[in-house]
Amino acid sequence: MPDPSPYLFPPVAPQRSGMLPVDELHTIYWEEVGNPQGIPVIFLHGGPGAGLSPQHRRFFDARHYRVILFDQRGAGKSTPLGETRNNTTQLLVSDIERLRELMGIDKWLVFGGSWGSTLALAYGETHPERCLGFVLRGIFLCTPLEIDWFIDGAQWFHPEIHEEFAAAIPADEQGDLLQAYYKRIMDDDPAVYWPAVRGWSRFEGRRVFLLPQPDEPPCDTLDLGLGRLEAHYMANLGFFEEDQLLKNVERIAHLPAVIVQGRYDVICPPFTAWRLHKRWPGSVVKMVPDAGHGAMEAGISRELVAATEQFRRFGRFE
């Protein structure tokens, strides 16, 4: 993978961070970087369950942006890790509002990729009056068609990866891999759920980039958060009504938006980004010709930084 660092801003450390209890079960980790008087922006990570990375702070010029980042329920440093109880899209939206109020922010730019784009749209359509605009990457609307593509569409481009994923499931259950994995991932026995969450995480991770990358060593936090929460949300269709996010786009259609999409994204294919763009006439699509799904692929990181810089200068996208 080409090094995206030439397109990203220099590494920056949080000025503040903390843990925010959001109910009797969940406490979420948050951090703030940049200029306290800068343009407020909320960063929404992917997955669900993938959690934050220090690289995520680097899409924004810290001299001009006030960046709020947080680990969503069950992800990263939030506790309990991998917890699916009291974990729905609607509750995540309420957590974002809790953070906005905690920070004393009136309106902010909403930045999200992959599942983060799903959550960004859900938040915006619920609280359009709190949004300045949107920077979205690798669009995922959490429809049955997209979920089926994520699970079984993989075999069209990565048959060997799909075959390995299916081989961990008995033959009589391979007709519904989502439910088969979901049952094992939610099992109470570590001997059952650890192989399942690791298999799920590997299945996704090996398809993120356009060009093959070295296999990452297992990471307990990522594997458990990603495996449990992705299976949970996909099995429940994101807690949305049918095509809900697309049907409600008119609630935010007056706001500026840029959509950054890898041409060869096999996790969240371009068709979904195009569907969203067609319902959002004021949106701008940046189709990256040499990229897959990864935010750190050079072309995608370049366009994301260009988008935050355009919004900083002009309050819109071109």
Is 158 in the active site? Answer: no
Distance CA 243, CA 196 (A): 29
Is 301 in the active site? Answer: no
Distance CA 8, CA 255 (A): 25
Q: Pick the catalytic residue: 56, 127, 162, 293?
A: 293
Distance CA 213, CA 136 (A): 24
Residue carrying the six token digits 């810089």: 309
Distance CA 176, CA 288 (A): 33
> Which amino acid, one-letter code, is at 183?
K
Contact 287, 272 (CB under 8 A): no
Q: Pick the catalytic residue: 71, 95, 114, 117?
A: 114
Report helix angle 177-185 to 220-235, nearest 10: 130
Tokens of 46: 């992917």
Is 114 in the active site? Answer: yes
Smallest CA-to-CA distance from 118 within 243, 222, 256 is with 243
Q: Pick the catalytic residue: 56, 95, 265, 277?
A: 265
Q: Which residues are catalytic?
A: 114, 265, 293
